[in-house]
A = this chain, B = another copy of it.
Amino acid sequence: MARPSTPRGQGRTRVTVAALELFARRGVSGTSLQDIADHLGVTKAAVYYQFRSKEEIVLAVVEDAFADLRGFVEEAEAEPTGRAATERALVGLVDLMIAHRQAIAALILDPEVGRILESHPDLMALTDRLHALLVGPRSGLSRRVAASVVGSGLAHAGMDPDLADVSDADLRRELLAVGRAVLLGQG
């Protein structure tokens, strides 16, 4: 649907998939280009044929994830009420985490990713919009704290090794329950 003529992860895609997995496990700073190349069974030079620098790889990985994010953020912002917008953002966020599990959270929390994002205001703005949706229109202290806890808590739960045995469907249901209880249960 979104990738018409890319048969099976050729070229850049193969690199970003491998990079995402390694970044999630060891962090961006803890992952070398050699690691990525080894994981793909190629040499560093082969990776450098696809990307000019390590930062460019990180950006490509982040942008993949942010494409999904942009979609449901815009949907949520179109909702008529603040409550519906928060609900839609919550569902989108949980689905995003479930879809990638392990990977996304580690990226979001990685300080090196944060540093790189600072140079890209368009990507930063997207996270701000998500944050605003979770907090809602009445931004009291309780809601701000709740949004922060839920936002990072959901992300982290997806990659929690203690929950690795939980199925996607079960985890999705429980995460939505916790998110709704904290964000929508009180107001």
Contacts and interface: CB of A to CB of B under 8 A. Distances in A.
Interface of A: 25-27, 29-30, 106, 109-112, 115, 131, 141-142, 144-146, 148-157, 160, 162-163, 166, 170-171, 174-175, 177-178, 181-182, 185-186
Number of copies: 2
Contacts of A106: 111
Given A111-B27, A111-B106, A181-B185, A149 B156 contact: yes
Contact of A145 (B144, B152, B166): B166
A160 B151 CA distance: 11
B163 A175 contact: no
Contacts of A30: 27, 29, 111-112
Most buried by B among A111, A148, A182: A148
A96 to B, nearest CB: 15
A102 B146 CA distance: 17
B26 A112 contact: yes
Given A109-B156, A149-B157, 10 more contacts: A25-B111, A26-B29, A26-B112, A30-B111, A149-B150, A152-B153, A153-B154, A156-B156, A181-B186, A182-B182
Contacts of A112: 26-27, 30
A115 B185 CA distance: 38
A131 B181 CA distance: 21
Contacts of A110: 27
A27 B160 CA distance: 19
A115 to B, nearest CB: 8
